[in-house]
Structures are given as structure tokens and as C-alpha cells.
């Protein structure tokens, strides 16, 4: 997702579906530079002690959980606090995306908490399946609630206050976007509202809509070229699997399903993160001239997905996922555990898919059993029953999605009372466009939207986000002693 990795255009109306009730995002943070602006702020890590199991009062074990803060814009002592939820990757600081622009606008402090089991926030030194049983979105939500109150008390101590409560807003992208929406419905007394950017709130076992969106975003010519690549590679694997895998610099992937999953992701990532031309322009040129599409796609995969995007082929190797020792790539094992136990999001092929039929629901379930042990199965129905899926119902949650993002079908597509949903329409609007800009990876400093092919669409959506935050913050302040 992350489970897993200004020219003004003629405006297209933002799809705005708003219904207000009377109560009115697997991408690792990289420290890059864009001009003089860092892509990460507040990079000094601090640690709080967090309970290992929030559901067992008799379990007193704790672990160190990293967190970060950025207070340059904070209008102390009464300004708002923006909790930017960190998702399925190590946190090296706070992303300098559009949320920082909003923080400056509203005089907010920005804080983020590293997700349990990722980065250095490890409850255990051994990442065996038994020790992963405390890794879930439910435990993570309690972490966020505990951290929210911990930081609020810290603010009060800094400013010599007792029982005061700053207004809080939660936000996140992708899985953390789902966490922000879930936090708002489960802990609504702790926050004024939530921004769910590309929030994947629907757990899906057989997620064929992912590839349907990739094909639609690619257009008929590029999609046909990708299907031809898949068909030819399938035949090549039958004849000489080693040779064809080496062509894509993926010789270590002994499992054919892992290899085909890698090839499918390499295409999807271009649309997910707003780089469609990096894939389709060169591939279409070769395809329309009856050239060697497999060789052309292999070069795109190596130059774009591996070299430019920084993908490690090892993350697709089931044998690598079995490694229980914490390390730079242990986050891949952690996310697969969440996928295999809770949310699935299995990107499976369908008839006519651009993805090989080798990547089926069975492939995913076999992977889960192979990596984590027999009996591992995602509790999709329970997850959706607990949170509501796309029927999620609460108040003061805004959902934002990019029109080209294959993950948007696991997000909320229509509005409910209190949960307005917006679709940002443009050719390179993908995962987290509202916060990240275009392309979405690498991050554009402060969410720069000037590279979006229709920046006005993004700016309109951001105006709506700002309006809602302003309304939420205008509500009366609660005191901690009332909670």
C-alpha cells in the first residue's frame, strides 16, 4: 500500500458528494531535498512507553514507541494539534506535505506516532508469528488514543495548565487514512474531525477492482500492451523461468506467483503514484510498432520500479518474508501479517486482467500459510463489521481519493451524513494526491500541486479540506476533566 509501496488547466468540476448531518494513504519516508525545503520535518525522535496489549488489563508489559513533533507554527497554548498518523512503514519524522501548509494556516502543532511493530517501535526482538498477535489496527488505534492523551498532558505541563484540552484533528493516507477515519468513529471524544486521504476502509478478500482501475487508468492501448506482456511472460516462464526472471532482474523469485505479483505491481505503481507516462508512453510506442513489448517492459521495470522508485525485489520473495529478525525490510513481513490476518486487499486477477492468473486469491492464501503458518486467514468480514467498511458511519470525516488510484475502490466512494467524499479528477491524480501533490512519490514538498495535469482540481479539494477543518475547530473546546 502501502502494503504495498503552476500551469492552470481548464477545470473539471470536482466530484463533490456532500451530505452533512446536524451534528456537523508503503512508502518509506525518505529524506530528500527539493530546493531548500526538506521532505521531512520534526525528525528528532522521542519515545513514549506504550502497552503491548490494550485489551488485557493484567498484561503490564510495555514497549518504546517513537514519536515526533513540529511546533514551529503552533499558536501556543490554545492552538490545534494535528495528529498525522504514520502507517505501515518506519517513521523518520513528519512528512512535509500539504498538512504542513494547513498547520501554518491554523497555527497547529503537528505530531506523529510510529505504528507498532514498524521501524524501531518493536514490542519484541523476535518477529515470529506468535509475537505478532498484538499487531492489528485495533491495537494501533488504542496506541493513538493513549498517545493523544499523553501529548495533551505534555502540552499542559509545558504551559502550566491543568485539565485543558486543545482541539485535535487526525489525518492519514492509505492505511493510515483508514486509521484516521476509524479513530474518529471509535474515539470521537478525542478529536474534532478526520481527513482520510485515500483511506482504504474496506477490507476485501478478492480485490479485482484494483486491476480494473489500473486498466481504466492505463487506457485501451497501454492496457492491451500490458496484457500482451503478461501473456508472453507466462509462456516464457513455461519454457525457461530462470531466463525470463533474470531479464527483469528478479532471478531470486523462485515462486512463479511471486514473480508475476512483482510484474503486476510494477505497472500499478505508475498509476497509484501519478507517473502514468513513465510506463505507458514507451510501452505504447513499442506495442504500436509491433516491437518486443517484453523487453521494453523489462527496461521500464528496472529503470523505473527498481532504480527510480527504489523497490527491492526481495520484498516479493516469500522466503524473505519468513525472516523473523528485525531489520530494514522487516516492515514487509509486518504488513503481510496485517494483510493475512485482518484486511486482505488481495489483488487478484480476473478474466481479461492485466495480471497473470497465477496471482489468484489462492496464491495469496497460500502465501499467508507459507509465511505465517497453517490456519492464517484474513478476518475480512469481522473487520468490516467492526469498522463499517464503505458503510462507515460517524461524523466529521472527509474522504479524498484520486481518480486514477487503483486503491480508491477500497475507500469510500459516496457520501454519508457527516462523511463527505470527494474524487479529485486528473490524469495523474493517484494515491494521496490531496496531501502529496503530483506525482505522489517521491513526495512533493508541501504537497506541491503544480505538476498535476489539472492543479485546479487539487486546489479546489484542498479548499474544501480547509473549510471543514475551520468549521470543526470553531466548535467549543472540551476540557480533559469532562472526558
The CA distance from 433 to 447, in Å, is: 8
Per-residue model confidence as pLDDT tens for the chain (483 residues) = 553 432 222 222 223 333 333 332 333 322 222 333 468 998 899 999 999 999 999 999 999 999 999 999 999 999 999 999 999 999 999 999 999 999 999 999 999 999 999 999 999 999 999 999 999 999 999 999 999 999 999 999 999 999 999 999 999 999 999 999 999 999 999 999 999 999 999 999 999 999 999 999 999 999 999 999 999 999 999 999 999 999 999 999 999 999 999 999 999 999 999 999 999 999 999 999 999 999 999 999 999 999 998 999 999 999 999 999 999 889 999 999 999 999 999 999 999 999 999 999 999 999 999 999 999 999 999 999 999 999 998 899 999 999 999 999 999 988 888 889 999 999 999 999 999 999 988 789 999 999 999 999 999 999 999 999 999 999 886 655 555
- What integer pLDDT is reported at residue 416 of this predicted model? 83
Residue 66's CB: how many other CB atoms inside 10 A? 21
Burial 129-156 (b: 16+ CB within 10 A, else e): bebbebbbbbbbbbbbbbbbeebbeebb
- What integer pLDDT is reported at residue 399 of this predicted model? 97
Nearest to 316 by CA among 359, 279, 380, 374: 359
- Cα angle 233, 439, 335 (rounded to 5 degrees) comes to 65
Q: What are phi and psi of 146, to 5 degrees?
A: -65, -40
Residue pair 193/180 in contact by the 8 Å Cβ criterion? no
The CA distance from 167 to 474, in Å, is: 9
Angle between helices 256-272 and 209-218 (to 10 degrees): 50
Q: CATH number of the domain at 39-202+389-482, out of 3.30.200.190, 3.40.50.1820, 3.30.300.20, 3.40.50.620?
A: 3.40.50.1820
Dihedral of CA 347/248/327/271: which sign?
negative
DSSP 204: B
Residue pair 426/452 in contact by the 8 Å Cβ criterion? yes
Write down the domain spans for the chain: 39-202+389-482, 208-381
Task: Catalogue the active-site residues.
Answer: 174, 405, 431
Amino acid at each position: 500500500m502501502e502494503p504495498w509501496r503552476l500551469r492552470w488547466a481548464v477545470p473539471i468540476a470536482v466530484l463533490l458528494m456532500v451530505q452533512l448531518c446536524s451534528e456537523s494513504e508503503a512508502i518509506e519516508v525518505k529524506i530528500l531535498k527539493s530546493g531548500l525545503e526538506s521532505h521531512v520535518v520534526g525528525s528528532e525522535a522521542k519515545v513514549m512507553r506504550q502497552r503491548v496489549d490494550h485489551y488485557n488489563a493484567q498484561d503490564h508489559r510495555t514497549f518504546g514507541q517513537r514519536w515526533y513533533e513540529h511546533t514551529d507554527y503552533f499558536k501556543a497554548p490554545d492552538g490545534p494539534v494535528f495528529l498525522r498518523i504514520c502507517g505501515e512503514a518506519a517513521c523518520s519524522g513528519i512528512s512535509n506535505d500539504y498538512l504542513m501548509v494547513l498547520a501554518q494556516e491554523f497555527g497547529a502543532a503537528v505530531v506523529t506516532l510510529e505504528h507498532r511493530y514498524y521501524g524501531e517501535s518493536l514490542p519484541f526482538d523476535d518477529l515470529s508469528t506468535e509475537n505478532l498477535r498484538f499487531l492489528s489496527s485495533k491495537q494501533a488505534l488504542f496506541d493513538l488514543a493513549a498517545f493523544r492523551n499523553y501529548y495533551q498532558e505534555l502540552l499542559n505541563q509545558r504551559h502550566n495548565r491543568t485539565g485543558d484540552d486543545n482541539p485535535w484533528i487526525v489525518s492519514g493516507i492509505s492505511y493510515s487514512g483508514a486509521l484516521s477515519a476509524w479513530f474518529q468513529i471509535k474515539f470521537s471524544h478525542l478529536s474534532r474531525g478526520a481527513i482520510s486521504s485515500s483511506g482504504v476502509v474496506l477490507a476485501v478478500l478478492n480485490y479485482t477492482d484494483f486491476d480494473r482501475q489500473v486498466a481504466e487508468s492505463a487506457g485501451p492501448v497501454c492496457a492491451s500492451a500490458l496484457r500482451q506482456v503478461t501473456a508472453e511472460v507466462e509462456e516464457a516462464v513455461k519454457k525457461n523461468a530462470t531466463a525470463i526472471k533474470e531479464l527483469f532482474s528478479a532471478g531470486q523469485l523462485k515462486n512463479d506467483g511471486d514473480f508475476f505479483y512483482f510484474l503486476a505491481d510494477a505497472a500499478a505503481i505508475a498509476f497509484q503514484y501519478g507517473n502514468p507516462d513513465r510506463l505507458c508512453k514507451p510501452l505504447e510506442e513499442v506495442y504500436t510498432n509491433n516491437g518486443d513489448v517484453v523487453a521494453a517492459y523489462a527496461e521500464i521495470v528496472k529503470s523505473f520500479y527498481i532504480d527510480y522508485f527504489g523497490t527491492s525485489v526481495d520484498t516479493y520473495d516469500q522466503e524473505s518474508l519468513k525472516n523473523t529478525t528485525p531489520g530494514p525490510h522487516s516492515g514487509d513481513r509486518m504488513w503481510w501479517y496485517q494483510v493475512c490476518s485482518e484486511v486482505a486487499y488481495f489483488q487478484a486477477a480476473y478474466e481479461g486482467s492485466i495480471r497473470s492468473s497465477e496471482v489468484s486469491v489462492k496464491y495469496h492464501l497460500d502465501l499467508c500459510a507459507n509465511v505465517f503458518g497453517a490456519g492464517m486467514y484474513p478476518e475480512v468480514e469481522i473487520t468490516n463489521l467492526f469498522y463499517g467498511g464503505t458503510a462507515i458511519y460517524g461524523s466529521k470525516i472527509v474522504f479524498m481519493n484520486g481518480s486514477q488510484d487503483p486503491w480508491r475502490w477500497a475507500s469510500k466512494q459516496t457520501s454519508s451524513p457527516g462523511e463527505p467524499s470527494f474524487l479529485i479528477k486528473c490524469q495523474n491524480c493517484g494515491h494521496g494526491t490531496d496531501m502529496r501533490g503530483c506525482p505522489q512519490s517521491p513526495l512533493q514538498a508541501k504537497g506541491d500541486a503544480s505538476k498535476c495535469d489539472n492543479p485546479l482540481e487539487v486546489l479546489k479539494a484542498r479548499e474544501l479540506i480547509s473549510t471543514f477543518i475551520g468549521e470543526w475547530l470553531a466548535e467549543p473546546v472540551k476540557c480533559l476533566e469532562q472526558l
